[in-house]
Structure 1
């Protein structure tokens, strides 16, 4: 048997209620009594039963966060910022990764629901949000991350990916590139689709420009390397003169393929290359990578702020908030050439 609050109360010669106040509302107890109870806790090795406390309260102090790929530094940075903001409000973030798999996402949502989390932040795989909506209607706050949910009952925080896609291709076309390839996938992912839409809008405004869409199974370095290998097998006249990748991991893979031993493509002389997210590795690549920067710290912190605001309202009276941040072009050597870091 573990040490109970009653054991602590007996050792400190106080009531169980006093021990509870020391643990939860120490300002209600005299400093000398707090010291005596704390000494008994330390001596006995008492560990509070948070699970029981959460059952009584009906909601835990944990927040669930489900991202598409925890191996992507973009989502790691969002999680880190969310942890900092949550910690300022006595909340703990529990992290799960769906690996872009709707069934894994659903399993995490079910698990966090069973744990009675304070709220849930999700970067959804697809457009079927019925399970999340049921959770929201039952009183658990839900915030969509990296997804604009304007016009829906959900709070959300996102970046304008259509603007980001257009920004990337405008940059390439401004450098004189006309045969652009857009690389990423699956194309059903909302972020990938929106960045493609932005790229298509930019191409439509430039006479003589074309856009080739190359779908990848995942947004990974390995998938990008495969595309780079395929482009090198083409005759030079059949290759694009610029590549826009749906994220930096894919772009890093393309760059690895081009620059590995025996690579036949020079960046940016033969093919200009730009990614998306501006992860830390982008600036330290063998050819520093141009990218579209997203404000990850603001995304993570804002998601927690929206969750707290939703938690303070009735789910039937809450008016959702849907901030959309603007991305930023960061141009480096992979498009501008040597001397640009």
Structure 2
């Protein structure tokens, strides 16, 4: 039979309330009593029932983190940053990937709510503001991650993706490329449209520059390879001179596709830049230029905002980091 709190109290010669204080608020108990209770806990093999405690408290000590794609190293780094910071607050992180599908996002949010999570960090594709407000009204704090909040009442932490797109476009223009393509999609993902807007601004500032949009069904290596095959199959005179990929996975797929076809050399024929600066960017066949996001810092900051929201100290916070251009061989040769 499992050892109960009452068993510990009787063996230690203290009340059940004192044992509870030792476990949850030890500063309220004398050092000698804390030591005696812990000795009894060790001797009897008592294991606290956190599930029951959390049920009574109305929420767990787990944070629900929803990300677009668990296969993307950017989100793995973001999750690691969130986990490390959560541990400092005595919290854990429960990660779910949506595969960029709105129905999976809705199911994940429902699951988080059913599990009575401490709060939710949502790196999602859609803007379901009524649902977010409903969660807040039910006492579940929410922080939008890797995207700017469309509602001042919903905290967020993000990178300025419009500026990141502009940085990528200006870099490609600065090396003399004028026919530029943006490869990315689907357009329902806010990060994609923001990065596209940024490169559009850069191209619009140069009179003889043009921008082509090459849509993809997902932000994956496979979709990058498919896009490369379509581009490589065109006449050389009609191909772009440079490509800005919406993320590094697409860019790596583009490099793979160009190598496989043998029709396009990077950067000689087409200069290529990605977004996120994942670890694999430096290990590509042609080291990849990229726009860097501080993934781990984004995750850690999101946890800080979530904890602040539960403390209800001040209004919702919105943190915007600035992206950084990292130049490698895919644009410089």
With the shorter chain as reference, the TM-score category is over 0.9
- How far 1:45 sits from its partner (Å)? 2.9
Q: Does 1:330 align with 2:320?
A: no
What do the CA deviations read for 1:293-315 (whole angstroms, capped 9, x no partner)?
1122321121111112211128x
- What is the CA deviation profile of residues 152-197 of structure 1, one whole-angstrom value per residue up to 9, with x for unaligned ones? 3211111111111111011101111111111111111100011111
1:281 aligns with 2:280: yes
Structure 1 unaligned regions, length at least 5:
none
Q: 1: distance between equivalents of 2:66 and 2:174?
A: 38
| 1:150, distance to aligned residue in structure 2 (A) | 5.3
User: In 1, distance between residues paired with 2:26 and 2:316?
Assistant: 36
| Residue pairs, 1:88-237, within 5 angstroms | 88-149=88-149, 151-237=151-237
Q: Distance in 1 between matches of 2:42 and 2:69?
A: 41
Give the deviation of 1:23 after TM superposition.
Answer: 1.2
Q: Is the alpha carbon distance of 1:28 and 1:319 closer, same or farther for their aligned partners in structure 2, counting shifts above 3 Å?
A: closer
Secondary structure of the corresponding residue to residue 275 of structure 1: strand
Q: Distance in 1 between matches of 2:79 and 2:113?
A: 19
Task: Name stretches of at least 5 consecutive residues in structure 2 with no aligned partner.
Answer: none
Shift of 1:8: 2.4
Runs of 4+ aligned residues of structure 1 deviating over 4 Å after TM superposition are none
Aligned length: 333
CA distance in 2, matches of 1:6, 1:36: 15
* Aligned pairs for 1:272-311 within 5 A: 272-311=271-310
Note the alpha carbon deviations across 1:187-218, whole angstroms, 9 max, x for none. 11100011111111111111221111111111
Contact 1:150–1:322 (Cα < 8 Å) also in 2 = no
Deviation of 1:151 (Å): 4.6
User: How far apart are residue 292 of structure 1 and its match?
Assistant: 0.3
| Shift in Å, 1:16 | 2.0
Worse overlay, 196-205 or 142-151: 142-151
Q: Partners in 1 of 2:153 and 2:332 — Cα distance?
A: 43
- Determine the structure 1 residue equivalent to 2:317: 321
C-alpha separation in 2, matches of 1:150 and 1:109: 18
Paired residues for 1:3-82 under 5 Å: 3-82=3-82
* TM-score between the two structures when normalised by the length of structure 2: 0.95
CA RMSD in angstroms, aligned pairs only: 1.7
